[in-house]
Amino acid sequence: MLISTPRFLARSALALAVATALPAYSAADDTLTVTAAAPSADTPAADQQASLGNLGKREIRNTPYAIQTVSPRIMQLQQVKEIKQIYRYLPSVQGDGARPQSRGMQGSVVQNSLIDGLNVVSTTPYPVEQFDHIEVLNGLGGALYGPANPAGMFNLVSKRPSDLPQHTLTLGGGTDGSRKIAADLSGPLDSNDRVRYRLNLLDDEGHSYAANSRKRRQLVDLAVDANLTDQTVLETTFSYYHYYEKGLPASYALASGVAFPSASRIDKDRSGQYYAGNDDNTLTAALHLKHDFDGNWLGEVAVLRQIADRESTAVTNTFLNGSGDYKTTTSSATASRFTINSYYANLTGEAETGWLKHDIAAGMRGFVWKNDNPRNGGTTTLGQASLADPQAFAGPDYPDFTDRYHSATTTQQSFLLSDTLTFSPQWSLLLSGSQNFLTSANYAKSGRRSSASNDSGFSGSGSVMYKPAEPLTLYVTYADSLQQGDVAPSGANNAGSVLSPYRSKQVEAGSKLAVGNTLLTAALFQIDRPYAYTNSAGDYAVDGAQRNRGLELMADGDVMPDLHLFGGVTWLDPRLRDTASADTENRQIVGLPRVTASMLAIYTLPMLRGTEVHAGAHYVGRRPTDNANDNWVGSYATFDLGSSYQTTLFNTATTFRLEITNLTNRHYWTNIVPGGLNGYSGAGYASAQLGEPRMAELSMQVAF
């Protein structure tokens, strides 16, 4: 249910008034504090740290993994609204779909997505306004996080309270008809600065870019940090996010032997149905307890509970032939509630055995993930139409999404141990491993268990690091990781059955060079994993293996005093191997391009104080749409342009921001994946979505 605008804004105004009435207090010198840096005070890329599973925080430039972070500055400049839009300048990441992924490997619903290091569901939307920055580890992470797809680990880092009062209010709007008001309030709650808060409020609504569409985002996010002692801090986070969108363009799928038409032929205003879309509510609560034992050994215990309620009624148009005729279906059978309880406990510290130094990390982590599906959900055919004559179909009788049955439970438990052995200032060795226990069970509407699995296994990795000079790190890493087997999707002959766990392997060689405030990274890799899809017989099964080889180049930092670059290029060779059919052997994986490149350039105008201009480019190569590579979708490039201006109005710091995305209004297909989207199965043939057209966003932010 939508929160009424007057009530939501009244609550926001009340919270704002209370926060501005709080006096400023100085931090006590002997108190352990957790602070949130101001958006303009980003840590230089060469000095950035990231959380790496049970390893804890590590300097990125000294780790044997390909890691990128999206800083608060870049997140604010882009003015995007959904987390998945943030990934566009990470060339190895495919973020247009519900599940983010890296290096061309499909992500999972839970195993690859984190908030502050704790597993969360990836297929519910998250607002950009909730988070400070994003950390992405490309490739395999099972030895550090427990079983996960080789799709990378995506950690969303929440905004934390600040020591000093910080209050901002943002008003904005865009060509999509949106009207946004957001407040970000932070500061101490007591005179000793031992308790601090951060409150983010958001109300954003409009009609989006398609005619007759509606969209709304509402957020309440509260973080409270308390120093229980000088060595112990308790961090708590609570968030509620409501995301509503109806009437946006449909997803598209292919019948056998059919190719996608040019995206320019799609009438975005008439391809969807006004009543179809998503109405999602996500509640997340987390607690982190951190203790510094002696300045060397650090302990942390964290728990999270998330309830994601969804009403998914999106439509899929399946092309039946090359003339543009299509069948429109809608599915309401996908899960309407995800419940996740995740946790971890870590202990990290240093020890010396003679001349050998050890950085030791030990811990455990896991989650319990439950699905509930609409009892009367299903797939409905609405009718047939064509690109030349799109149709508005009558809305079906959608089920009561709150009338659910428990459809599946998945549990995961891992015990982890890592040791970084430093032999000399130049040479070190990192050994990591996790012993994993996985269970899954699926249930019929009657409550009867229809399938189950109970497995265990080891995931490990080893890395050799060499520093010929302090700014340069060279490394080689081998990883072998277990992951949960996939669940056959709706529409497959064996829908609901659980496949056996997969084992993926990765070899990576890379380098990291810190030059001033700039970090340059390069990585060569090869990943092998079993490949499951809905085959031509209608069965969802492992049929072959996926082998992805590639090269990543990434730059982040100030290449000149007034010029910041963020982006890079990825060359990828994704192949389907060891298949039962010669038609698919050694073919390029559906939806994956050979080349992806992105770059964001931010230039501070020296002649006009407080003014920045930025420009971005994003290129994606052509992609196959079937396993035999008989049909392809062409490449595309999009360009973004924006600016920000800082000034003082009425003695108040004010920032104006303008962002234009897809400047040339390019028509293109995005999120091309095997099978179907939104619960509808395309029997192994590709599904895709339209890329967003040119859009502009203007905002004014005041800090007081």
- 10 Å CB burial of residue 607 (0-12, 13-18, 19+) is exposed
10 Å CB burial of residue 652 (0-12, 13-18, 19+) is exposed
| In contact, 494 and 539? CB cutoff 8 Å | yes
Measured CA to CA, the distance from residue 394 to residue 132 in angstroms comes to 43
Asked if residue 160 lies in contact with residue 198, where contact means CB atoms within 8 angstroms, the answer is yes
Whole-angstrom distance, CA of residue 220 vs CA of residue 577: 47
In this prediction, residue 5 carries a pLDDT of 43
Q: What are phi and psi of 694, to 5 degrees?
A: -65, 135
Whole-model pTM: value is 0.91
Tens of pLDDT, residues 598-657: 999 999 999 888 999 999 999 999 999 988 899 999 999 999 999 999 999 989 999 999
97 Cβ contact partners less than 8 Å away, ≥ 6 residues apart? 84, 671, 673, 677
Q: How far apart are CA 46 and CA 137, in angstroms?
A: 16
| Residue 24 DSSP label | P
How many angstroms separate the CA atoms of 533 and 531, rounded? Answer: 7
Query: What is the pLDDT averaged over residues 483-489?
Result: 76
State the pLDDT at residue 10: 40
Q: What does the block give as tokens for 82?
A: 């959904």
Q: Is the pLDDT of residue 285 over 50?
A: yes
Q: Per-residue pLDDT averaged across 331-360, rounded?
A: 94
Q: To the nearest whole number, what is the mean pLDDT of the chain?
A: 89
Structure tokens of 257? 């032997």
- Give the pLDDT confidence score for residue 219 in this predicted structure: 98
Give how far Cα 639 sits from Cα of 106, 137, 699, Å. 26, 26, 20
| Residue 484 pLDDT class (50, 70, 90 cuts) | confident
What is the pairing mode between strands 315-319 and 251-254? parallel
- The CATH number assigned to the domain with range 46-703 reads 2.40.170.20
In this model, does residue 338 exceed pLDDT 90? yes
* Range with lowest mean pLDDT among 399-408, 582-591, 649-658: 582-591
- Among 39-48, 305-314, 523-532, the minimum mean pLDDT is found in 39-48
Enclosing H/E stretch for 20: helix 5-21
For 447, the token pair is: 């409550």
Please report the pLDDT score of residue 675 as a whole number.
Answer: 66
Region of poorest pLDDT, from 69-83, 334-348, 404-418, 560-574: 69-83
Joined together, the tokens standing for residue 530 give: 């079993």
Identify how many contiguous H helices and E strands the chain contains and give both numbers.
4, 40
pLDDT bracket for residue 537 (50, 70, 90): confident
Task: Say what the pLDDT of residue 31 is.
Answer: 34
Positive or negative: CA dihedral 559, 565, 571, 576: positive
**Mean pLDDT for the stretch of residues 536-554:** 87
3-state secondary structure of 597: strand
Q: 433 burial class (0-12, 13-18, 19+ CB within 10 angstroms)?
A: buried
Buried b / exposed e over 625-641, threshold 16 CB at 10 Å, is bbbebebebeebebbbe
d(CA 672, CA 624): 9
Contact 46, 518 (CB under 8 A): yes
Instruction: Give yes or no for residue 676 having a pLDDT over 60.
Output: no
pLDDT band per the 50, 70, 90 thresholds, residue 502: confident
The per-residue pLDDT for 39 is 36
Nearest to 504 by CA among 477, 543, 531, 464: 531
| pLDDT band of 680, cuts 50, 70, 90 | very low
Mean pLDDT for the stretch of residues 299-315? 96
On the 0-12 / 13-18 / 19+ scale of CB atoms within 10 A, 100 is: buried
DSSP letters spanning 480-548: EEEEPPPBPPTTSTTTTPBPPPEEEEEEEEEEEEEETTEEEEEEEEEEEEEEEEE-TTS-EEEEEEEEE
Torsion of CA 662, 90, 119, 196, to 10 degrees: -80
Give residue-wise pLDDT tens across range 636-651: 999 999 999 999 998 9
The single residue listed with the structure tokens 């090359």 is 322
Q: Taken in order 288, 39, 125, 93, is the CA torsion positive or negative?
A: negative
Q: What angle do CA 78, 80, 83 make, to 5 degrees?
A: 115
Q: Which of 65-69, 133-137, 377-381, 507-511 has the lowest mean pLDDT?
A: 377-381
Q: Please give the pLDDT value at position 531.
A: 81
Residue 417 is which amino acid? L
The dihedrals phi and psi of 579, each to the nearest 5 degrees, come to -90, 165
pLDDT exceeds 80 at position 495: no
- Of the chain, the end-to-end C-alpha distance in Å amounts to 33
Are 504 and 529 in contact by the 8 Å Cβ rule? The answer is yes
Q: What is the pLDDT of residue 237?
A: 98
**Rounded Cα–Cα distance for residues 417 and 411 (Å):** 20
Residues 433-456 pLDDT 10s? 999 999 988 899 999 998 888 889
